[in-house]
C-alpha cells in the first residue's frame, strides 16, 4: 500500500486561507491595522535574501504587512542588538525574524536572545525554548512546530511511539525532541557521535531527519510502517533521507520539496498573526 504523503504545501495553502480571514477580521477591529513581521537581513547572502523575500510574499498573501530591514555585512553585534531593541520597542511590530546565518563577527546567540519573548515568532530565543520545554506559553521554533502541525493535521499517532531525531541543532533537533516528548513519545536524539546509527534508526516509529547531509539516512535502515519526516533540503531536490525507496515501505512521509519547507514559513506567519491578535485586540 502506498505511503500517505504528508503534503506540507497543501496544508500551508489551507492555513493561509484561514489566516487571511483572521487578518481581515483583525483589520476591521483595529482600524485597518494588521500584524507586522519585521525581517532583519545582515549582509548579502543570496540564499538568505531569497528566504526573506519568500517570507515577505507569505505575509502579503494573508493580508499582513512586512518590514524588511537590510543591514551591511560590516554590522557589529552591538549595532544589530540596537536595531532589535528598536523593533522590540515598536508597538507596530508584532514579530521579529533575524535571518540565519549572520556574518561571522556577530555573536548570533546574543542577538537572538535580544528579541523580546512576545515577538519571538520564530522561536529562537533561549527563554522561548526553555518555556516551551517546560510547557509554558511560548512560540515554538518554526520548523519543528511546523512538523508538529503537519503530524496533527494528518492525525499521526504520537503517544507511546518511539521517535528518533537525527540532528541536535538548537533550532530544529532539540526543540523537535521536546515537542514530541510533550506529546508522550519516547525520544532518542542521534548525532555525529552516535554509535550504531542504522540500528537506532531502524527502531524508529517516527523518524525525523535533521542532519543537514543529503540522503545521509539510508532507506534500508528504516523499518516498515514508520512515519518519516525529512527536514532537509539540498541541491537536486533531495533531503536528508533517501526517500524514493520508501514510498511503498513506510506508512507516511514528507516529500522533498513540498513537505516540511512550506510548513516552516507558514508557521512563522501563523505565529505572527497570533502575536498580532494578542496585541491589536487589547
83 catalytically annotated = no
State the Cα–Cα distance between residues 164 and 179, nearest whole angstrom: 13
Residue in 99, 174, 205, 270 annotated catalytic: 99
Record the cell numbers describing residue 41, joined without a space. 537581513
Q: Of the candidates 33, 32, 74, 71, which has an alpha carbon nearest to the alpha carbon of residue 52? A: 71
Let me know: does 165 contact 279? Beta carbons within 8 Å. Answer: no
- The β-bridge partners of 228 are 207, 253
Residue in 7, 55, 161, 174 annotated catalytic: 55
122 catalytically annotated = yes
Residue in 120, 122, 230, 240 annotated catalytic: 122
Residue found under cell 512586512: 66
Distances from the Cα of 174 to the Cα of 6, 130, 169, 177, 217, angstroms? 22, 11, 6, 5, 18
205 catalytically annotated = no
Contacts of 122 (CB under 8 A, 6+ apart): 95, 96, 97, 98, 139, 141, 142, 268, 271
Alpha carbon of residue 55 to chain centroid: 12
> Which residues participate in catalysis according to the annotation?
55, 99, 122
Amino acid at each position: 500500500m502506498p505511503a500517505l504523503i504528508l503534503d506540507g504545501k497543501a496544508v500551508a495553502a489551507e492555513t493561509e486561507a484561514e489566516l487571511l480571514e483572521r487578518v481581515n477580521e483583525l483589520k476591521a477591529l483595529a482600524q485597518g491595522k494588521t500584524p507586522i513581521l519585521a525581517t532583519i537581513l545582515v549582509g548579502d547572502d543570496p540564499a538568505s535574501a531569497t528566504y526573506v523575500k519568500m517570507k515577505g510574499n507569505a505575509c502579503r498573501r494573508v493580508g499582513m504587512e512586512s518590514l524588511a530591514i537590510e543591514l551591511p555585512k560590516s554590522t557589529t553585534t552591538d549595532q544589530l542588538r540596537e536595531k532589535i531593541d528598536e523593533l522590540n520597542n515598536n508597538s507596530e511590530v508584532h514579530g521579529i525574524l533575524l535571518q540565519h546565518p549572520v556574518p561571522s563577527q556577530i555573536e548570533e546567540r546574543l542577538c537572538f536572545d535580544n528579541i523580546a519573548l512576545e515577538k519571538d515568532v520564530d522561536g529562537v530565543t533561549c527563554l522561548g525554548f526553555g518555556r516551551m520545554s517546560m510547557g509554558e506559553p511560548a512560540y515554538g521554533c518554526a520548523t519543528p512546530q511546523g512538523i508538529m502541525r503537519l503530524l496533527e493535521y494528518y492525525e499521526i499517532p504520537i503517544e507511546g511511539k518511539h521517535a528518533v531525531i537525527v540532528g541536535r541543532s538548537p533550532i530544529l533537533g532539540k526543540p523537535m525532541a521536546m515537542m514530541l516528548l510533550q506529546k508522550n513519545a519516547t525520544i532518542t536524539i542521534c548525532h555525529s557521535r552516535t554509535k550504531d546509527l542504522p540500528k537506532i534508526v531502524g527502531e524508529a516509529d517516527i523518524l525525523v531527519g535533521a542532519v543537514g547531509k543529503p540522503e545521509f539516512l539510508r532507506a534500508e535502515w528504516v523499518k516498515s510502517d514508520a512515519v518519516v519526516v525529512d527536514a532537509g533540503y539540498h541541491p537536486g531536490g533531495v533531503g536528508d533521507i533517501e526517500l524514493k525507496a520508501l514510498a511503498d515501505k513506510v506508512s507516511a512521509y514528507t516529500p522533498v520539496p513540498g513537505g516540511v519547507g512550506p510548513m516552516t514559513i507558514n508557521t512563522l506567519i501563523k505565529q505572527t498573526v497570533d502575536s498580532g491578535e494578542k496585541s491589536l485586540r487589547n
